């Protein structure tokens, strides 16, 4: 299902993909594809693909500025409608991801997970998931991990279709993209 649906979606969205690639390439003055290592199934690391939405602006100490200071107006709009996720269909076609599953997070989070939270790595990560349709970036890390583990325990063909359908409507409404006053989810610092 993943391969068939991702291939079909990519073909349907290919004109939009090319348009965004060209516009973002001009906007960011270079390759608009953002690549980053993320842990997949069984914590095997792969390279996730997304459209770039932020500039690589640094502070006086050479550290990246907060997301809210690096995101551009165009990037904000692209994120609001989840258009930055379109290149991940290539990750699904390649087999690194599924359409539905826990979102792949940063590799440095692996050592911060509790044993229960680490169970999210038992399945392939998804472009969307149970946590995304239940609040996305507006819920806490604990809630996010609870939904991820719940998905691992109960995933099915029917549940995946329900999640895809809710995701479609959430994307159209731009729902749950960021927490109030934030551009993206805050950094996970472990269980306290």
Both structure tokens of 119:
């169970």
What local confidence, expressed as pLDDT, does residue 66 receive? 85
Q: Residue 145, Cα to own-chain centre: how many angstroms?
A: 15
Nearest to 104 by CA among 46, 149, 64, 53: 46
List the domain boundaries for the chain. 2-173
pLDDT (tens digit, 9 = 90+) per residue, 74-102? 999 999 889 999 999 999 999 999 999 99
191 has a pLDDT exceeding 90: no
What local confidence, expressed as pLDDT, does residue 187 receive? 85
Residue 24 contacts residue 105 (beta carbons within 8 Å): no
What local confidence, expressed as pLDDT, does residue 177 receive? 58
Both structure tokens of 5:
């649906």
Query: What is this structure's pTM?
Result: 0.89
């Amino acid at each position: 299902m993943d391969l068939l649906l991702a291939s079909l979606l990519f073909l349907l969205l290919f004109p939009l993909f090319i348009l965004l690639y060209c516009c973002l390439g001009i906007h960011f003055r270079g390759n608009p594809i953002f690549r980053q290592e993320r842990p997949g199934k069984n914590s095997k690391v792969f390279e996730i693909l997304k459209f770039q939405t932020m500039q690589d602006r640094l502070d006086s100490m050479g550290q990246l500025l907060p997301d809210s200071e690096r995101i551009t107006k165009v990037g904000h709009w692209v994120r609001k409608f989840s258009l930055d996720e379109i290149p991940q269909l290539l990750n699904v076609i390649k087999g690194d991801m599924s359409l539905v599953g826990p979102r792949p997070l940063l590799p440095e989070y692996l050592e911060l997970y509790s044993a229960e939270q680490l169970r999210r790595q038992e399945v392939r990560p998804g472009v969307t998931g149970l946590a995304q349709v239940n609040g996305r970036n507006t819920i806490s890390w604990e809630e996010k991990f609870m939904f991820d583990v719940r998905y691992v325990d109960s995933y099915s063909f029917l549940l995946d279709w329900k999640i895809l359908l809710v995701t479609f409507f959430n994307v159209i409404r731009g729902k749950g993209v960021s927490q109030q006053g934030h551009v993206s989810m805050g950094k996970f610092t472990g269980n306290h």
